[in-house]
Chain A
Amino acid sequence: MRRLRITVAFATIFASLFGGMAAAYALGGWLESTWFKGASALSNLLMLMLVFVMVFATLLVMAERKWSALMQNRTGPNRARINLPGLRSRSLAGLPYLIADTVKMLAKESFTPKAANRFFYALAPILAFGPVFTLFAVIPAGPTIPVLGHEVAMVVANPNFGLLYIFALASLAVFGAALAGWASNNKFSLLGAIRACAQMISYEIALGLSLVGLMMAFASIQLAGPAGIMEQQSQYLWSAQLGGFDVGIPAWGILLQPVGFLLFFAAAFAETKRPPFDMTECESEIIGYFVEYSGMRFGMFMIAEFVEIIVFSGIITTLFLGGYHLPFGGEWFAKLAFFKEHPWVYGATMGMVFWLKVVVVTYIQMNIRWTFVRFRYDQIQKLGWKILIPLGIVNIFVTGALLLWDKNSLGLLGLIGLFEMAFILILMLSSPKSSLYKPLKAEPLPSHH
């Protein structure tokens, strides 16, 4: 019975992703044909950013509670009910909590401390939310296909400086934290803001360095488009044809740059300021930079965190996991006669693949958040400065050397990448003992003389 319910839930998710992307393509094509050329960017702004990203972020609030509950052998929140006949006795997977939370946020007093700088105090939540939200503008969520006789691209904007746009706007998010702490005129929120700034600034360096190898490998910093990083990942490193069905090892960023992937993942995780990097807030112990905020202003900080997760998942999917491309069978899939006749079905299917990858990466982020304890402050700085940044620099040099060695293809880079992944796998399987249940030993006390 439960398996049936879960299967239906999964089918609903797949269907709604497919339907959402089909609607996005249809709206884009309709706007292109009735309004002006390039109007599909506006429909993408609406569909991808305001609908997909915001709905994902909202649902993630609930998903975090439910997923963490399942990881900890709990049921999770299921008490909020909708008082309508037929729904009264159903927990609806906890979804009524979203309504309850929103009503609570909006109904609470939005308090401003007397000594606060009112302008910056009001500006900080917007600055925390806005830059993160706009990051998604350069992420392509589906292929470019003809709809109603017009080419519709599933990306809001495709500047040739795509990655630089991401770096620039991602570093703006620190202003939100800094201003929130300073404008509250509270010592503790100022200290929290200082911690947040120190953490985010140190990880931005690692964030940048980790992607340099990828930029060199694909010789591009554009994300979408035929020369973009996403499209280049549809090619194979080595491939074979099995009766028209193409199999092989795709040139995904994670295979070419496993170290870069780990570094970027860690740095992006630190940028989201969530556990194990939540030294900035530490909900349960010390006070973070938004301690004075309440009501919807606090809600902005909270939803910004979830939007950040979705957006970074989208960036990771685009850069490292091949975007909307399938790992194999992509060429065979695109050549199917049915898809030639109905390109919107192809587009919506590929869009569904993209969003599913985003969900998986989001799950991994949630999984890390609910598995590991918080780093100490010195450990955060040590990880950033003494591990991630040197590793990033080494990665740049190794990638450069490999690309010079094998100038014509990405084969050598892929080979080394596979070797690195196999090395990590071997390390994992061969570690002599598991530390899972090892009792902690107390440090010996210094003796006094």
Chain B
Amino acid sequence: MSHSENMSPSESENKKSAYDFWERLYVPELVKGLAITTGHFLRNLWSEHDKNPEVLDRKSRMVTVEYPEQCVPYPLGYRGIHRLVPREDGKPRCVACYMCATACPSQCIYIEAGEYPYDDEEAASRVIEKYPAVFVIDELRCIVCGLCVEACPKDAIRMDHAEPMGSIARQHTLPALERKPFIYAKERLLAGAPAVHESDPWQHRKASEEPVGIHKEAHTRIGESH
């Protein structure tokens, strides 16, 4: 059986030519194509260029973002750099449980745990026993997978849109010419906005009937009320 007999009518039509007669004359289609590029050329030559960094909102057709001077703002969900979330009093939410360091596939998190003194005046510190005395992230080793954020039981490490850190360029690891600036220490990681949840143990202190220091954080659940 020959090949042509086997083809359906639409297939054989398709086989005959992909273009109709007008298109195969070529010159008219060629001029049409030239008209399109020339239209773009003239419009871009003559009209003002909108420099809005949000390219999709631009009034003109130019899509160039001139990088060092202009930056495309990252989307809200962009995860490019770690931060340690502080409590309202500025201390880290981190309880030095090592889960992030354990989850990290590139082993870029280094933690040394410290213990809050039991007779500290501040109740908030007393309900949490441990804190990171040293918390270092080597951003050069980090593969930005976000597993540390998922592993954290305390919402203490995030890779989020950190508004108080200010400029847009700070949402990713900043470039540098040596290794040292890529080793982020605790102070630098804590620079972002604090976060407070209803389920945080120190939030329940005042209304609670329990004596201070007995209410352990392990008893609290997200959304639990007293």
Contacts A2-B48, A432-B22, A441-B18 given: A262-B27 contact, CB under 8 Å?
yes
- A431 touching B29 by the CB < 8 A rule? yes
- B45 touching A6 by the CB < 8 A rule? yes
Task: Kindly state whether residue A371 has any CB partner on chain B within 8 Å.
Answer: yes
Residues 16-40 of B at the A interface (beta carbon under 8 Å): 18-20, 22-23, 25, 27-34, 36-38, 40
On chain B, the number of residues with a Cβ less than 8 Å from chain A's Cβ atoms is 37
Residues of chain B within 8 A (CB-CB) of A110 are: none
Residues of chain A within 8 A (CB-CB) of B14 are: 441, 443-444
A74 nearest in chain B by CB position: B64
**Cross-chain pair count, CB within 8 angstroms:** 86
Residues of chain A within 8 A (CB-CB) of B221 are: none
User: Which stretch from A32-40, A64-72, A100-108, A113-121 is at the chain B interface?
Assistant: A64-72
- Give the shortest distance, in Å, between B8 (CB) and chain A (any CB): 9
Please pick, from B31, B40, B49, the residue contacting A2 in the complex, using a CB distance under 8 A. Answer: B49
Residues of chain B within 8 A (CB-CB) of A440 are: 18
Residues of chain A within 8 A (CB-CB) of B22 are: 427, 431-432
Q: Determine the distance from Cα of A262 to Cα of B25 in the docked complex, in whole angstroms.
A: 13
Q: Determine the distance from Cα of A262 to Cα of B29 in the docked complex, in whole angstroms.
A: 14
Task: Kindly state whether residue A447 has any CB partner on chain B within 8 Å.
Answer: yes
- A73 touching B29 by the CB < 8 A rule? no
Please pick, from A74, A367, A371, A431, the residue contacting B63 in the complex, using a CB distance under 8 A. Answer: A74
- Give the shortest distance, in Å, between A398 (CB) and chain B (any CB): 17
Task: Kindly state whether residue B47 has any CB partner on chain A within 8 Å.
Answer: yes
Task: Kindly state whether residue B15 has any CB partner on chain A within 8 Å.
Answer: yes
- A446 touching B27 by the CB < 8 A rule? no
Contacts A2-B49, A72-B40 given: A449-B19 contact, CB under 8 Å?
no
Q: Determine the distance from Cα of A112 to Cα of B86 in the docked complex, in whole angstroms.
A: 65
Task: Kindly state whether residue A370 has any CB partner on chain B within 8 Å.
Answer: yes
- Give the shortest distance, in Å, between A76 (CB) and chain B (any CB): 8
Which secondary structure dominates chain A's binding surface?
loop
Task: Kindly state whether residue B147 has any CB partner on chain A within 8 Å.
Answer: no
Contact with B along A426-440 (1 / 0, CB 8 A): 011001111110001
Task: Kindly state whether residue B167 has any CB partner on chain A within 8 Å.
Answer: no
Residues of chain A within 8 A (CB-CB) of B23 are: 431, 435
- B66 touching A75 by the CB < 8 A rule? yes
- Give the shortest distance, in Å, between B27 (CB) and chain A (any CB): 6
Task: Kindly state whether residue A372 has any CB partner on chain B within 8 Å.
Answer: yes
- A446 touching B3 by the CB < 8 A rule? yes
**Can you spell out 7 A-B residue pairs with CB atoms less than 8 angstroms apart?**
A6-B45, A71-B38, A424-B28, A436-B36, A440-B18, A444-B7, A449-B1
Using CB atoms and an 8 Å cutoff, list the residues of chain B in contact with chain A.
1, 3, 6-7, 11, 14-15, 18-20, 22-23, 25, 27-34, 36-38, 40-41, 44-49, 61-64, 66
Using CB atoms and an 8 Å cutoff, list the residues of chain A in contact with chain B.
1-3, 6, 67, 70-75, 78, 262, 364, 367-368, 370-372, 424, 427-428, 431-436, 440-441, 443-444, 446-447, 449
Rank and list the top 9 A-B pairs by shortest CB-CB distance, nearest first.
A428-B28, A431-B22, A75-B64, A70-B44, A427-B28, A71-B37, A371-B37, A73-B61, A70-B41
